[in-house]
Structure 1
Amino acid sequence: MSPSVAELQAATVDHVQAVKENIKEQEAAQTAEVVDKGPSYPFYFPYFDVDEKFPVTQLFDHVDPGLRADPKKPHLLTPNVKTSNISPYLGTEVSGVQLSELSAEGRDELALFVAERKVVIFRDQDFKDIGPDRQIEFAKYFGPIQRHPTSGNVKGYPEFHVVYRDATHDRFREYTGANRANHTSWHSDVSYEKQPPGTTLFFILDQPETGGGDTLFLSQVEAYKRLSPEFQKRLEGLRAVHSAVPQAEFSRKRNGPVRREPVETEHPLVRVHPVTGEKALYVNQGFTKHIVGFRTEESEYLLKFLFDHLAKGADFQIRARYEPGTVVLWDNRLTAHSATPDYSTTFRRHAVRLTPQAEVPTEGPPQA
């Protein structure tokens, strides 16, 4: 027997009520998901003090720790350590060793290993929990730590460069251009310094639950090798200007700090690594502005070719994937990298970089 009109109306009312209740439950669940409980490591929340000032950076003597290393790396790559290469040209994942427990010999070998592999990803590290003083002490082994003139640091600890992005903090997208179709931005950190960074350290604190937020790296060594011998010869001997001015202007416009007046520095277009002796391009779209001695059009044309060569070289690039306890070290002299802001800002990405400076870039032979 078919249901009556009254029964159909009652069933419809019950169904509508059930749908409404279901929608309310979903909305409540979504609201609960986006409640911001704050960063897991509030001590490292980015700190901006417009009154903080740094002195002009002075030149210093630098001897790379990798020059002292045992090539067999017995203190770093012990029998319990597992390694897996991501690419033939750069990138190795490592498990079974704690960076915080390395001896001086182990740190020497680490510097050499990072120079050889360009990017090394260490898993299951306790590094984020050993405290700021030990973290800084570890990084200083590789050189004086660069204090960033405009980025967020940690109050009382200007050695830390804090990387932070969430729903209310999206400085990266602002800096790279909010109207861009993509936000890939290849750069070598603070290459405008007279003595730019060498062995660089980056550790993750909070990351998106949905994945994403990886870092892309490329080998400037392999990028140089891909060029024809005649073109390589044309590049050698050229110098380019690396500028901190746009970075400082961006910070000033948003009432941020400029802790040291911006510098512009000439570096060789092709540099030689002091330990491995490898030649590498030393240009990046973030900071390299023009080639010394070239007309404007000539410089723009050559730099555009080099920037495109780097960006399109997927076969000498890798993607470094983060997970809890990840610490990444890379050689800033031999690589360029880009963040990938491919995650919703309802999630937080929070990390810290320590950036030891190295030698004045040279196109001459490696150190003896």
Structure 2
Amino acid sequence: MASTITTVITEDRAAQTTELAASATSAAAGRSTFSLPLLYGSPGQPTPTERGQGPFESYPYSELLPKVFPKAHNIGEPLEDFVHIDPGMRALSHPDPRKFLKNATKVGDFCPTIGTEVEGVNLAKLALEERDELALEVARRKVMVFRGQHDFFEAGGEFWKEFGSYFGRAYTHNLFVTGRLHVHPTGGHPEDLPEIHMIYRDENTVYYDTENITRGMWHTDMSHERQPPGLTAFFLFAHPESGGDTFFTSGVEALKRLSPGFVAYLKTLRQIQSAVDPIQVTRNGTRTRNIRRPCVTTIHPLVRRHPVTGEESLFLNPEATKGIVGYKKQESDLILNFLYDHIAGGLEGQMRVKWAPKTVVLWDNRVTMHSALFDFAGSPERRHGARITPQAERPIPALDGIQLD
């Protein structure tokens, strides 16, 4: 079986190299479905045009607005399980797994436990082995921020799908198949791009939350799925001059800060996650959303193990975690609320990304949580971005023998 997989990987890599070259050639020739204009930056503070601001009538990314939403009574089939192969596994055997950074003009860590900022590396031009190395480095650093990604933005929708699919690829019937890109169950997307999740906020859609002190909430994207996302890409076409930053925190570091006995106890726990509440009702509770497929309820471990690095991480989500299996609500809430407070207050594992034109952020959704900052409510400026969300493996319990079904 091992030799069969090796042969398949070798043959598949050759085929993927051909596909990647064709994709890059198509983008360069301007044949991509959504080829975006380049808004080159200049030294110093970006101009409003470079930040995607200005009159809505002349907004250059209007074709990438979230326009297609699910229709009522048009519910599709639930997602099927698949065998995910993380490309970072291949990079473990590379002589220099960080070789893809050799031409970088800047590589600096946000803090020791999480986050690296990179300049001078062109994500759109990475070879397949370099993509493998990228996956491994993101797994190790949790979050990577790539500046100056003009080619990535220009390449457009078909390239974005191909790029994301590489990190969510499935192995089935002795063959690698196209990776699983998650389609948001309720969110909007551009025409013909359901796999690219779009977010959009401006002065008409950002509101102050009158029921809570803050709208920020640490969360993990789509964690209720049986196979939640892994390496995730996010980039903004438009961002405010000030505000709208994104915070990240490491579930690995949060777990390390707890005492060994408590960690051993947490490893025995399973949680119930469901998307019923966040999917059916908007955050301000004013209307019911249409959905693309049935809502699911899933059992996940409270502590998971990363398939490539072997690191253990807290894995929970205030938006989706409903309780701990076998515990009464008050008992479950006591444990979960402690962990939420611990994560929120764990400054040693946190970082903050300030957005700049042509920035692409990659993070490992399996071992991080994040939160956008909606501090620009009332501002006339817009915040518009895209998320590429490859699905990964079903969470692996940190404690062997934990049954999830």
Q: 2:59 and 2:327 mapped to 1: Cα distance?
A: 48
Q: 1:283 and 1:261 mapped to 2: Cα distance?
A: 22
Name 1:185's counterpart in structure 2: 217
In the alignment, which of 333, 338, 348 is matched to residue 300 of structure 1? 333
Indicate the larger mover: 327-336 or 151-160: 151-160
Name 2:44's counterpart in structure 1: none
Asked if 1:50 is matched to 2:75, the reply is no
Name 1:146's counterpart in structure 2: 182
Asked if 1:125 is matched to 2:149, the reply is yes
Q: 2:336 and 2:58 mapped to 1: Cα distance?
A: 42
Q: Deviations over 1:207-241 (max 9, x none)?
A: 112x1111000000000000000100110121101
Q: Deviations over 1:251-303 (max 9, x none)?
A: 59635431112111110000000000000000121211100011111001000
Q: What residue identity is the alignment partner of 2:187?
A: S
Instruction: Give the 3-state SS of the residue equivalent to 2:258 in structure 1.
Output: coil
Q: Deviations over 1:302-332 (max 9, x none)?
A: 0000000001112211101110010000000
Cα pair 1:48 1:257 within 8 Å, conserved = no
Instruction: Give the 3-state SS of the residue equivalent to 2:101 in structure 1.
Output: coil
Q: 1:181 and 1:38 mapped to 2: Cα distance?
A: 36
Cα pair 2:144 2:363 within 8 Å, conserved = yes
Cα pair 1:235 1:269 within 8 Å, conserved = yes
After TM superposition, the score normalised by the length of structure 1 is 0.85
Name 1:136's counterpart in structure 2: 161
Q: 1:154 and 1:35 mapped to 2: Cα distance?
A: 20
The 5 Å alignment of 1:1-368 reads: 35-37=55-57, 39-51=59-71, 53-69=75-91, 70=94, 72-73=96-97, 75-126=99-150, 127-143=152-168, 144-170=180-206, 177-209=209-241, 211-251=242-282, 254=287, 256-343=289-376, 344-364=378-398
Q: 1:117 and 1:88 mapped to 2: Cα distance?
A: 9
CA 1:73–1:263 in structure 2 vs 1: closer, same or farther (change >3 Å)? same
Cα pair 2:268 2:399 within 8 Å, conserved = no
Cα pair 1:223 1:310 within 8 Å, conserved = yes
Indicate the larger mover: 116-125 or 152-161: 152-161
Q: 1:87 and 1:40 mapped to 2: Cα distance?
A: 35
Unpaired segments ≥5 residues, structure 2? 1-52, 169-179, 401-405
Q: 1:155 and 1:254 mapped to 2: Cα distance?
A: 24
Q: What residue identity is the alignment partner of 2:69?
A: D
Cα pair 2:279 2:291 within 8 Å, conserved = yes
Could you say what the CA RMSD is over the residues aligned between the two structures, in angstroms? 2.0
Cα drift, residue 178 of structure 1: 4.0
Q: What residue identity is the alignment partner of 1:129?
A: E
Cα drift, residue 37 of structure 1: 3.9
Cα drift, residue 114 of structure 1: 0.3
Q: 1:220 and 1:191 mapped to 2: Cα distance?
A: 14
Q: What residue identity is the alignment partner of 1:260?
A: R
Cα pair 1:214 1:321 within 8 Å, conserved = yes
Cα drift, residue 50 of structure 1: 3.3
The aligned length equals 329
Instruction: Give the 3-state SS of the residue equivalent to 1:155 in structure 2.
Output: coil
Cα drift, residue 34 of structure 1: 7.8
Indicate the larger mover: 302-311 or 313-322: 313-322
After TM superposition, the score normalised by the length of structure 2 is 0.77
Cα drift, residue 39 of structure 1: 3.6
Cα pair 1:205 1:324 within 8 Å, conserved = yes
CA 1:166–1:334 in structure 2 vs 1: closer, same or farther (change >3 Å)? same
